[in-house]
Amino acid sequence: MLLPNILLTGTPGVGKTTLGKEVASRSGLKYINVGDLAREGQLYDGYDEEYDCPILDEDRVVDELENQLSEGGVIVDYHGCDFFPERWFHIVFVLRTVNSILYKRLENRGYSEKKLKDNVQCEIFQVLHEEALASYKEEIVHQLPSNKPEDLEDNISQILKWIEQWVKDHSS
């Protein structure tokens, strides 16, 4: 059976991981968190002193994911999307969170003041939504609100419905 690949993207703290793991467990699709993948495989290319974090080696990440994504049935979770091959994804969901809620979530993660400010600004300017629109066909990019628990349930059911319809449309 053919299964779709889904990209979940958005500013850190918008709820990609919670949503991705839940959709994966309810749909049977495989969930991949690119941050975890990079950590496990040490897929880094240096260190960013300013942000106090390793720099992702995007080419190695793409190489690492290529086989799994060519088979289909994968949910990829990452806060960037412009380096993935366009052909990988059948749909892209950009999660959006209200700034005040996002600020609290990132504060709870212990983000530095600079990291807090930059990420909230990233959300204000819709950086990830713009990046998704620049990287993929507009008709496959969808925004989802991610502010409260009800949003999570709505988003899960919306994505599950989409998967079901996609499978129907692509079965011979």
pLDDT per residue of the chain (172 residues) written in tens, 0 to 9: 899 999 999 999 999 999 999 999 999 999 999 999 999 999 999 999 988 889 999 999 999 999 999 999 999 999 999 999 999 999 999 999 999 999 999 999 999 999 999 999 999 999 999 999 999 999 999 999 999 999 999 999 999 999 999 999 999 7
- Closest Cα partner for 159 from 90, 98, 105, 102? 90
Q: Which domains does the chain have, with CATH numbers?
A: 6-165 (3.40.50.300)
Binding residues for ATP, by number, are 13, 15-18, 109, 148
How much is the pLDDT for 29?
98
d(CA 79, CA 58): 13
Six token digits for residue 21: 């793991």
How much is the pLDDT for 147?
98
The residue type found at 88 is: W
Six token digits for residue 80: 């960037």
* Residues listed for the chain: 172
Instruction: Tell me which long-range contacts 64-67 makes (C-beta under 8 A, separation of at least 24).
Output: 64/37, 65/32, 65/34, 65/37
